[in-house]
Amino acid sequence: MAGYWEKKYECAPLHEMKALQSFRLSQTVRRVYENVPHYRKRMDEAGVKPEDITSVKDLYKLPFTYKQDLRDTYPYGLFAVGMDKVVRLHASSGTTGKQIVVGYTENDITVWKDCCARALAAAGCTNEDFMHVSYGYGLFTGGLGMHYGAEHLGMTVIPVSVGNTKRQITIIQDFGSTAICATPSYMLHLAETMEEMGISKDDIKLKVGILGAEPWTEEMRQQIQEKTGIKAYDIYGLSEIIGPGVAFECSEQTGMHINEDHFIPEIIDPDTGEVLPDGVQGELVFTCITKEAFPLIRYRTRDIAMLKREKCSCGRTLIKMMKPAGRSDDMLIIRGVNVFPSQVESVLLQLGNTTPYYQLIVDRVNNTDTLEIQVEISPEMFSDTVKSLETQEKIIKDAVESTLGIAATIKLVEPKTLQRFEGKAVRVIDKRKK
Ligand code: DLL
């Protein structure tokens, strides 16, 4: 079985974890109250004093922090230490609005390295492995985050970053990479390029991938595993909280263990803010309890997920989050029906015959929302008759309608015509937002 990095925390009994969280939470709240005017103001307005927060049970008393708060205090207004203590900045632009800036002290970097090393150890990586990092390096947290985590574990790190896909394949082959970090969509693109180059999965040594930074389905996992021969593990995180390594999959692959000794998760009703019980889907909220430079309190991630605390065969006691369906901002409302792009991905890949390359085009015609799904067909199907392509379109149309509950136009397109992505895939073009 794959190893642990910090067994003491990863397998801690629940009462010990709660005690640790309570202690760290009360300290963090005191610190932000003293050092960050924004938090002091918000807590004063809510009538909460640091001494009111003595246990995780008191968490609900604290006001939420929103992405807008990060923008309003841009760039350093939420930092809880002086800039002389900050050794690194990262930033995230997101899809809308002004970018946000996050900072790390030296100790924050150590926490981050540990979180990523836990993920890598859980995926079976050791200091014998060669780690090919295809996440972007720079202000994005993916590249440097996983890089430091992999080095911390003693892996031989190959910092390739994004781009030049053919060269990446040559590096994987020549350097003997055994592990890879990439977005799932880029992993697929690597697989496709390998095929074009006439390189089979037996010609490379990759055995494991730690893939994340975007929503992806179980069906996508199967495709990636089949095409590349790797075992594909999910990893979750966001810049605001620390970057990759907030949560990670273990060998059981039934959800991602959250590093809850560092980040306390809650699920809330996004409309009312009410805390929901485990097992109920809602918006994921995190409170950082070890971060020094940028400790966010009850941060509304807008990711829609579910928590589950259950015995895991890997031995970890850390609570699990189910694969997030996507951000509430990615959720489309089409003719009043909520649709996540990942639902469409699931339908398409279950049917077979299509490739995992698809795009959703949403528009409004005569005051009615329309959804067109463009999907690449497999090269084998491409040579089929018009009649059989029409049949295939009909099959997809029916399957989409019965799963999503809305009608869509299906447009089958030739193989390799839709855009490929090196980082996070952009699945939706919403022409209603002009
Ligand atoms: O994507 C950090 C990261 C890098 C995570 C590398 C994993 C691997 P941001 O650019 O700030 O940070 O984007 C964070 O991406 O709120 C989710 O909506 C989405 N996301 C990240 N990981 C997953 C995942 C990085 N495994 C936002 N599944 C988050 C689904 C994910 N969505």
Q: What is the pLDDT of residue 94?
A: 61
Q: How far is the CA of 243 from the centre of ligand 1 (A)?
A: 8
Q: In this structure, which residue's CA is closest to atom 1 in ligand 1?
A: 213
* pLDDT value at residue 95: 56
For residue 143, pLDDT over 90 is answered with yes
CA of 183 to the centre of ligand 1 (A): 9
Report the 3 state secondary structure along 180-225. EEECHHHHHHHHHHHHHCCCCHHHCCCCEEEEECCCCCHHHHHHHH
Q: Which two tokens stand for residue 34?
A: 């003293």
Ligand 1 centroid, distance to 252 Cα (angstroms): 21
Please tell me the distance from the alpha carbon of residue 246 to that of residue 139, in angstroms, as a whole number.
Answer: 18
Query: 343 CA distance to ligand 1 centroid (A)?
Result: 18
User: Is 37 buried (19+), middle (13-18) or exposed (0-12) by CB count in 10 A?
Assistant: exposed
pLDDT at 280: 97
Residue 326: its pLDDT value, please?
81
User: Ligand 1 centre and the CA of 283: distance in Å?
Assistant: 15
pLDDT in tens, 58-104: 999 999 999 999 999 999 999 999 999 999 999 987 656 678 999 99
pLDDT at 96: 60
User: How far from 213 is each of 49, 238, 399, CA to CA, in Å?
Assistant: 36, 8, 28
Average pLDDT over residues 203-220: 96
Long-range contacts of residues 394-399, Cβ cutoff 8 Å, at least 24 apart: 395/351, 396/347, 396/348, 396/351, 396/354, 399/347, 399/350, 399/351
Cα–Cα dist 102/71, whole Å: 11
For residue 3, the tally of other CB atoms under 10 A from its CB is 14
| Predicted pLDDT at 331 | 86
Q: What is the pLDDT of residues 341-356, one digit of tens each?
A: 999 999 999 987 788 8
Alpha-carbon dihedral sign for residues 350, 186, 404, 418 = negative
Ligand 1 pocket: which of 217, 238, 246, 306 to mutate (most atoms within 8 A of CB) = 238
**Global model pTM greater than 0.85:** yes
Ligand 1 environment, Cβ below 6 A: 92, 135, 141-142, 212-215, 234-239, 243-244, 301, 303, 324, 327
Percentage with pLDDT > 90 across the chain = 85
Look at ligand 1, atom 12, and give the residue with the nearest C-alpha: 238
Exposed/middle/buried for residue 275 (C-beta within 10 Å: 0-12, 13-18, 19+): middle
Q: Whose Cα sits closest to atom 18 in ligand 1?
A: 327
Note the pLDDT of residue 161.
96
For the stretch 22-67, pLDDT in tens is 999 999 999 999 999 999 999 999 999 999 999 999 999 999 999 9
Q: Is the pLDDT of residue 312 over 80?
A: yes
CA distances 378 to 302, 358, 412, 413, 422, Å, are 35, 12, 10, 10, 21
Measure the N-to-C terminal CA separation of the chain; round to a whole number of Å.
Answer: 51
Give per-residue pLDDT as tens, 361-409: 999 998 899 999 999 988 877 777 888 888 989 999 999 999 989 999 9
Q: Tell me what pLDDT residue 388 has.
A: 84
